[in-house]
Amino acid sequence: MDTATIDKREDRIRGMFGHIAPTYDFLNHFLSLNIDKWWRRKTTQMVPPAGDGPILDLCTGTGDLALAYDRAAKGKTPIVGADFCHEMLRIAQKKVDSLKANDRIRLIEADAQKLPFPDNHFQIVTVAFGLRNVTDTDRGLSEMIRVARPGGRVAVLEFSQPRNRVFGGLYRFYFRHVLPRLGQMISRSKDNAYHYLPASVMEFPDGEALAERMRRLGLAEVRWKPFTFGVATLYIGVKPKE
Ligand SMILES: C[S@@+](CC[C@H](N)C(=O)[O-])C[C@H]1O[C@@H](n2cnc3c(N)ncnc32)[C@H](O)[C@@H]1O
């Protein structure tokens, strides 16, 4: 797929995730050998809940990072998961129901580019493997910053491109040739979601480029930590207190 032609319009992205929702969790864990669970857990450890104040997980999808935060906060912190794809949220809701966590985890259908939350509200705002799919990256990031409270943290967990020559070469072969075929076979995505995945990762900024973008939009103390040889990277910034 030509990366210059990736279509990230809202309707297409919402439809694509709506269609793969039933197989999304299985494929996430299968294609990453369960390492995705460790990445989310590590995110909650590196950006831990601190004191009171709600946490927002954007593009929450089937809710795994929101649930990881609920575990990290031992159920003591209100958590909001927001996504604009109804089918993904339905799966997240089942997980919340089975944990009997409806009193503390709320799921909301909303576009990350225009969030229905007040300014300066959340102690932590996260997004895992979602920012890359948001039509306008800067609008998504700006909304994350707007709703974070001063001194609050913004965390972006996203795929990145491993720089190690040997590992990177092997991984790229897997990511570009093996994963799309397995993903397509199992999900039967009519939008080629598992071809879109590597194509969208390859065109999305990573490392210092994304960190710099976060700084430009107003975050302070931005740092980033590659996971698993740089297959994924966690970016962390702080909303200045002014
Ligand atoms: C790859 S999934 C990630 C789900 C989850 N965060 C995880 O870690 O598995 C990306 C999610 O982003 C959501 N998404 C993409 N663009 C969005 C937008 N503009 N507003 C809200 N959700 C969006 C999709 O609906 C999808 O559920």
Tell me the pLDDT of the chain (242 aa) as tens digits. Answer: 334 469 999 999 999 999 999 999 999 999 889 999 999 999 999 999 998 899 999 999 999 999 999 999 999 999 999 999 999 999 999 999 999 999 999 999 999 999 999 999 999 999 999 999 999 999 999 999 999 999 999 999 999 999 998 999 999 999 999 999 999 999 998 888 889 999 999 999 999 999 999 999 999 999 999 999 999 999 999 999 97
CA 176 to chain centre: 20
At 115, which CATH number?
A: 3.40.50.150
With a 6 A CB cut-off, is 158 part of the ligand 1 pocket?
no
pLDDT of residue 242: 75
The residue contributing the CA closest to ligand 1 atom 8 is 128
Index of the ligand 1 atom closest to the CA of residue 14 = 25
The residue contributing the CA closest to ligand 1 atom 25 is 85
- Cα-based distances in Å from 153 to 16, 106, 122, 149: 30, 20, 9, 8
The residue contributing the CA closest to ligand 1 atom 27 is 61
With a 6 A CB cut-off, is 59 part of the ligand 1 pocket?
yes
Torsion of CA 127, 73, 96, 183, to 10 degrees: 40
CA 6 to chain centre: 19
Question: Total structural domains in the chain?
Answer: 1
Domain residues for the domain of 27 are 3-238
- Rounded to the nearest whole angstrom, what is the distance from the C-alpha of residue 44 to the centroid of ligand 1? 18
pLDDT of residue 105: 98
Dist. CA 155–CA 55, nearest whole Å:
11
- Rounded to the nearest whole angstrom, what is the distance from the C-alpha of residue 61 to the centroid of ligand 1? 5
Pairing relationship of beta strands 55-58 and 79-83 according to DSSP bridges: parallel
Residue ranges of E strands in 26-162? 55-58, 79-83, 105-109, 122-128, 148-159
The residue contributing the CA closest to ligand 1 atom 1 is 129
With a 6 A CB cut-off, is 13 part of the ligand 1 pocket?
yes
pLDDT of residue 47: 98
pLDDT of residue 191: 83
With a 6 A CB cut-off, is 128 part of the ligand 1 pocket?
yes
Dist. CA 192–CA 82, nearest whole Å:
24
